[in-house]
Homo-oligomer: A and B are copies of this chain.
Amino acid sequence: MAVSDRAQQLLKLLVERYIREGQPIGSRTLARGQGLELSPATIRNVMADLEDMGLIKAPHTSAGRIPTVQGYRLFVDSLLTVKPLEQSEVRVLQDKFSGAVDPQQVLVTASSLLSEITSMAGVIMVPRREQPTVRQVEFISLSGNRVLVVLVLNGHEVQNRMIHTSRRYSPAELTQAANYLNHALSGKDFNKVRDSLLAEMRETQESINQLMLTAIDMANRTFQGAEEGGDYVLAGQTNLMGYAEMADIDRLRQLFEAFNRKRDILHLLDQAAHAQGVQIFIGEESGYEVLDSCSVVTSPYEVEGEVVGVLGVIGPTRMAYDRLIPLVDVTAKLLGAALNQTQ
């Protein structure tokens, strides 16, 4: 069944109004408010049609109507008019980004930025380490029989690990070991390096090989850790407590626990990474029960032309999509730009 032009127009007005006021909209209200030349009775007829199509529903017999998920969907997909951000607004955002220097900080900034502006929860998925490679290993001798292993991943990320060794190594030894490893690693395959080290050990019994082996194992373990999925930065959860539709403390609790659990949210964000541009999950569409009364607006962000993560906003279904969509869009672009600079 097709939705007539007038019905669409009416749906649009209804959704907009409901988003603004948060209360079921009746036929009379709708007739009065905008410059509609229709009587409430007519509007009622149209509303009945919309209800038949599952686009709006009445919470109870004698309340007005509110949009259903499908209603929001139609609204967002074809009825919504987004006005791009003002230049001045964009500049304000840019300013906020200009402060931060290291990548982690940029993410945190962006996340709280989103939550502040929108008064909802801002979430940013941190770049997943793409098939990390160790290009460089360095050993630093510390006091006591301890050696600090510095792993340089992908040429910019750094990880430190401390090793307690059975004997003390001289700086010269360590440098030599590092050189050997760095050379071997350009051949890339860890397990090969590891195997040859093991073989060599059986012949020479060189304890320094043991050290190098340990380093290799560490690197390996780092990768496994990376395998198990990313992480995200969340800000402004408490904002969600402010919304009437979240009044049910038990649902709220479940939602917060989901935030802590991270799994579901990450999964959702991950989906959004494959789409391009702003994507919107309304209510149950997300597929996660805890988000039933929430909508999520996301956009992937790119560094050097490649999608490295997703950012978004989580709020009640009744959110100002027209404002959020450009906002999320712009923030994603700014975040990408900021990350480009700090890398």
Q: Name A's B-contacting residues (CB within 8 A).
A: 135-136, 138, 140, 142-144, 148, 150, 152, 155-156, 158, 160, 162, 175, 237-238, 241-242, 247, 249-250, 252-253, 256-257, 260
Contacts and interface: CB of A to CB of B under 8 A. Distances in A.
A162 B156 contact: yes
A158 B148 contact: yes
A234 to B, nearest CB: 10
Given A140-B136, A155-B143, A241 B249 contact: yes
A135 B143 contact: yes
Given A138-B140, A148-B150, A242 B238 contact: no
B140 A148 contact: no
Q: Which of A160, A175, A238, A242 has the most CB of B within 10 A?
A: A238
A296 to B, nearest CB: 20
Contacts of A247: 249
Given A247-B249, A252-B241, A142 B160 contact: no
B155 A142 contact: yes
19 contacts: A136-B140, A136-B142, A138-B140, A140-B150, A140-B152, A142-B156, A143-B155, A148-B150, A148-B152, A150-B150, A158-B160, A158-B162, A237-B256, A238-B253, A238-B256, A241-B250, A241-B252, A249-B249, A249-B252
Contacts of A249: 241, 247, 249, 252
Contacts of A136: 140, 142
Given A140-B152, A241-B253, 10 more contacts: A135-B143, A136-B140, A142-B155, A142-B156, A148-B152, A148-B158, A150-B150, A158-B160, A160-B160, A241-B256
The 7 closest A-B pairs by CB, nearest first: A241-B253, A158-B160, A238-B256, A138-B140, A238-B257, A238-B253, A143-B155
